[in-house]
Every structure is written in C-alpha cells, then in structure tokens.
A and B are shown apart, each in its own frame.
Chain A
Amino acid sequence: DGGITQSPKYLFRKEGQNVTLSCEQNLNHDAMYWYRQDPGQGLRLIYYSQIVNDFQKGDIAEGYSVSREKKESFPLTVTSAQKNPTAFYLCASSGGPITDTQYFGPGTRLTVL
C-alpha cells in the first residue's frame, strides 16, 4: 500500500527532553511537510522540504529541527527549546510543485508531562 506513515501515534515526553517524530512515505513524492495543530486552530507549518538534503523553515520553526537525508523520510525533532510542544503533529507530502495537493499521515499526538 502506498502512503505516509508516522510513528508513534502517541508520545509522552518529560519536560526538557528532545524527541524525534518519524515520517515515511512511499509515494515517491519530492516535497514533504511538518505541521502542528492545536485545538481550535488551523494547521501551522513548521518545516518543509522540496528535495533531498534541502529544507526550509515554515511559520513556527523555533524549537524544531528536521533532516531530509532520504527522499522517503523527513523526521522532526522537537527540542527542549520548544516552549509549548504539546500538540498534534502532522506530516504531509506532495508529488508536484509546492502548490500541489498535499496528503497527510495519521499524525502523532505529543504530550509533554
């Protein structure tokens, strides 16, 4: 089956710890994205990557880091510098230009204890 997978589905972290969220796609898409969603708010773009070994900051990149060493993978690290990390994190990919349709993974719910 082609698609986007994210793991884990639920993640609990102690304050001050870094944590890495996984995102893998087998759609052969060039572009990948990370968003966070907070209750009652729209999705906000954290980082995006249009091609391997290249990525750009989105609107709320502070406290996050990413890498894009492989086309299929775009992991997101939530660092201890992120002040309010508890949120629903969604990874997406698109096959064409960055204005193309984005397809989402099932998301990871991160809770900081």
Chain B
Amino acid sequence: RKEVEQDPGPFNVPEGATVAFNCTYSNSASQSFFWYRQDCRKEPKLLMSVYSSGNEDGRFTAQLNRASQYISLLIRDSKLSDSATYLCVVITGTGGFKTIFGAGTRLFVKA
C-alpha cells in the first residue's frame, strides 16, 4: 500500500459542478496536511492547509478525518480555471522528518 494515495482521475466536470477528491494516508502519526495545485509543467502552489476542524476558503473546503486516515478537498461552483492537478501532501514529524506527496488527481472543468 502506498503511503499516500490519490485517485489519479481524470475528473471531467462541467462548469458550475461540485467535485470532491479524497486522499488516504497510511501513517497514523502524520502531523501536517496540505492540498497543493499544480498546473501543467509548473511548480505546485499551496491551495490550503487541512485541519481536523475543517478549512474553508471561498469555493474550496478541506477536511481531515484522522479516524479513517484521509483528507478531502471539495470544490464548489467549478470554474474553467480550476482545471489542474491537485496534490495532497502529508508530513510526518515523528521518528524522522518525512514529506510525502500524492501523485495527484487531475481535474478538467469544461464549458
């Protein structure tokens, strides 16, 4: 089992749709969680941190479920500009620092 797993997609959705991605992780001691967005041939850019209490930023909502060991990202009212690859990142700080990136979920939003 991979340490961090994401559905690679692609997710093809129409403008205005709501889409959700999940990311599962295997290490229960993981401490920090993030969602990044990566456009084709560009660097990842931070989208949002993920907290147990949930985190909302405009049309984007991120959640952490420690019991089931997954994080989620919900995008409401999808825009064409949301088309990108979404990477989840899990950092474990105990017993040695380890940052693990998921392979990403590709999203295509179509007019």
Contacts and interface: CB of A to CB of B under 8 A. Distances in A.
Interface of A: 33, 35, 40-45, 48, 56, 59, 88, 90, 97-107, 109
A43 B99 CA distance: 9
Contacts of A105: 43
Listed residue (A42, A99, A100, A103) with the most chain B CB atoms within 10 angstroms of its CB: A42
B55 to A, nearest CB: 13
B46 A33 contact: no
A42 B87 contact: yes
A94 to B, nearest CB: 10
A45 B99 contact: yes
A98 B49 CA distance: 14
Interface stretch (B12-20, B56-64, B100-108): B100-108
Contacts of A43: 44, 87, 101
Contacts of B87: 42-43
Interface string B55-95: 00000000000000000000000000000000101010100
B25 interface: no
5 contacts: A42-B100, A43-B101, A48-B97, A56-B97, A109-B41
A108 B76 CA distance: 33
B21 interface: no
Given A42-B4, A42-B87, A33 B99 contact: yes
Contact of B93 (A42, A48, A98, A109): A98
A83 B1 CA distance: 26
Interface of B: 4, 8, 31-32, 34, 41-46, 49, 87, 89, 91, 93, 97-104
Nearest to A100: B32
Contacts of A107: 42-43
Nearest to A38: B103
A90 B45 CA distance: 12
A109 to B, nearest CB: 8
A42 B103 contact: yes
A110 B43 CA distance: 14
A97 to B, nearest CB: 7
